[in-house]
Amino acid sequence: MTVSGEVHRRQRQLLMPPFHGDRMRTYGQAISNITEQIISQWQVDKSFTVRLAMQTITMRTIMQVVFGLYDSPRAQELEKILCQILEDGGSVWRAVELYFPLLQKDWGSSSSWGKFLRRRQRLHQLTNEEIEERRLQADSSRTDILSLLMAARDEVGEPMTNEELRDELITMLFAGHETTATALTWALYWIHKLPAVREKLLQELDSLGENPDSSMIFKLPYLNAVYSETLRIYPVGMLNFPRVVRTPVTLCGQELERGTVVLGSIYLTHQREDLYPEPKRFKPERFLERQFSTYEYLPFGGGARRCIGMAFAQFEMKVVLAKILCSLDLALVDDGDVKPKRRGLVTGPDRPIQMVVKGKREVKYPSLSSISG
C-alpha cells in the first residue's frame, strides 16, 4: 500500500459505521455457521489436523464475510490464488525477498519473484472486477465488509477509490487467513493441553446459556485472557517490518544514524521476564491481573501501522473457539510439547497438531448467578 493510500485509509476508517450492534451479530452468526459446517464433518474417534481445519474456517470467513462471495467461479479462483501465494510465502527464500528489495527481480514466470508478481496481478484483476461489478449493481442490503468499505465516505463525502478498496481487501485477505488459523490452532492446543484452562473456559461459556449472542462471547473476560495469552506466548508475527532511520535519533540509549535499519521483535518483547513472569508458561490469568500497554503487548504491531484486521481477527477467533468448545468434546492425539517454528514471515507449530473428537458435548446450562455464587 502506498503512503498516500494509508493516509486515506486512516481518514476513512474514522467515518465508517462502527463494528458493533447488528453488524457484529450478523458477522458473528455467519462465522458461527461456517464453523458449524466444518466441524459437522469431523467424525468421532477419527483424528484431524487442526491447522488445516482452521484454515478452511478462516478462508470461508474471508470469502463470505469480507468479500460477500460464496461458491462463484471468482471466489474459487481468488481462494486458489491466495492459497498459492500463502504457501509460497511460508518459504525462507520468500521472506528474504520481502526483506531485501534488491532480490525482487522478475526472471520470468518460473522464477520465484516472477511467479509471485503474476499471481498478484491476477489477484488484483479479480478484486478490481468484483469492485466494478458491485459499483454497477449497488445493493444497500449487503452486509459484507467490502460493501461497508464501498459505502464509507471521507470528510468531504468522497468514497474510496478502487485502488484503496483493493488494498484494504488484500490486506485483510493476507492478514486474516493463515495468521488467524495459526492462532486458533495454538489456542486449541493450549486449551486441551491444560485441563484447568479448559474447565474454567467452559464454565464461563456455559454461563451464557445455549446459543449465546456473539457480542456477549466477545466480552467474556477469561476467553479474552486465553486469546491474549495465546498471542503472547507464541505470536504469529515475530517481527515488524523494517524501518529506516531518516534523521539521527537516540533510541533506548543507542545512537542511530541516518540509514540504520531497525526491526522490532514482538516475540522477544513478549518473552521479557520483567513484563511477563514465567514467560514460557501459558498463564491467561496474567491478562486478568493487569493491563499491558501497546509497547508491552503488540501481537498486531502498533502505532499507525497496526494491523487493520485486528478487531475482526479478535472477534472471529473468539466466536470460532466458543462454537467448537461448546459443541464438541475434543482431545489432543499427542499431548507432548509443541514449539514454535519459523514459517517465512510468521511462526507456527513445529509439527502438525492433531486432535480427535470424543463426542458431542452436552451440558445443562446453569445461570450466571449460580456460577458466580
Least confident of 61-70, 179-188, 271-280: 61-70
pLDDT for 7 equals 40
| Helix 50-61 vs helix 73-89: crossing angle, to nearest 10 | 130
334: left (phi over 0), alpha (psi -120 to 50) or beta: beta
Least confident of 105-114, 244-253, 295-304: 105-114
Task: For residue 56, give the nearest of 181, 237, 170 by alpha carbon.
Answer: 181
Residue 42 near residue 358 (C-beta atoms within 8 A):
no
Q: How confident is the model at residue 326 (pLDDT cuts 50, 70, 90)?
A: very high
d(CA 318, CA 326) in angstroms, rounded, equals 12
d(CA 190, CA 283) in angstroms, rounded, equals 10
Identify the residue with better confidence: 272 or 264: 272
In this structure, the number of other CB atoms found within 10 A of the CB of residue 3 comes to 7
d(CA 161, CA 71) in angstroms, rounded, equals 27
> Cell numbers 445493493 correspond to what residue?
139
Q: How confident is the model at residue 289 (pLDDT cuts 50, 70, 90)?
A: very high
**What's the chain's average pLDDT?**
84
Q: How confident is the model at residue 283 (pLDDT cuts 50, 70, 90)?
A: very high
pLDDT for 61 equals 92
- Residues in contact with 185: Cβ distance below 8 Å, sequence separation at least 6, in sequence order: 50, 51, 54, 348, 349, 353
Structural domain total, the chain: 1
pLDDT for 70 equals 79
* Mean pLDDT, residues 318-326: 96
Q: What is the 3-state secondary structure (H, E, C) of the chain?
A: CCHHHHHHHHHHHHHCCCCCHHHHHHHHHHHHHHHHHHHCCCCECCEEEHHHHHHHHHHHHHHHHHCCCCCCHHHHHHHHHHHHHHHHHCCHHHHHHHHCHHHCCCCCCCCHHHHHHHHHHHHHHHHHHHHHHHHHCCCCCCCCHHHHHHHCCCCCCCCCCHHHHHHHHHHHHHHHCHHHHHHHHHHHHHHHHCHHHHHHHHHHHHCCCCCCCHHHHHCCHHHHHHHHHHHHHCCCECECCCEECCCCEEECCEEECCCCEECCEHHHHHCCCCCCCCCCCCCCCHHHHCCCCCCCCCECECHHHCCCCHHHHHHHHHHHHHHHHHHEEEEECCCCCCCEEEECCEEEECCCCEEEEEEECCCCCCCHHHHHC
pTM of the model as a whole? 0.83
| Model confidence pLDDT, tens digit, residues 330-362 | 999 998 999 999 876 678 999 999 999 999 998
Q: How confident is the model at residue 66 (pLDDT cuts 50, 70, 90)?
A: confident
With the CA atoms of 199, 205, 209 and 211 taken in that order, what torsion angle do they form, in degrees rounded to the nearest 10? Answer: -130
pLDDT for 176 equals 74
What is the longest distance spanned by two Cα atoms in the chain?
Answer: 68
Please give the share of the chain, as a percent, with pLDDT higher than 90. Answer: 44
Q: What is the CATH number of the domain that holds 148?
A: 1.10.630.10
Identify the residue with better confidence: 113 or 200: 200
pLDDT for 279 equals 97
Calculate the CA 305 to chain-centre distance: 16
pLDDT for 228 equals 97
Identify the residue with better confidence: 71 or 269: 269
| Model confidence pLDDT, tens digit, residues 129-168 | 988 988 888 787 888 888 888 888 877 888 888 888 888 8
pLDDT for 309 equals 74
pLDDT for 95 equals 62
Structural domain that includes position 211: 3-372
* Mean pLDDT, residues 213-234: 95
| Model confidence pLDDT, tens digit, residues 80-110 | 888 777 776 656 566 666 666 777 777 777 7
For the cut 80, the answer to whether the pLDDT of residue 290 exceeds it is: yes
pLDDT for 98 equals 64
pLDDT for 91 equals 60
Question: Quick one: cell of 27?
Answer: 458477522
Please give the share of the chain, as a percent, with pLDDT higher than 70. Answer: 86
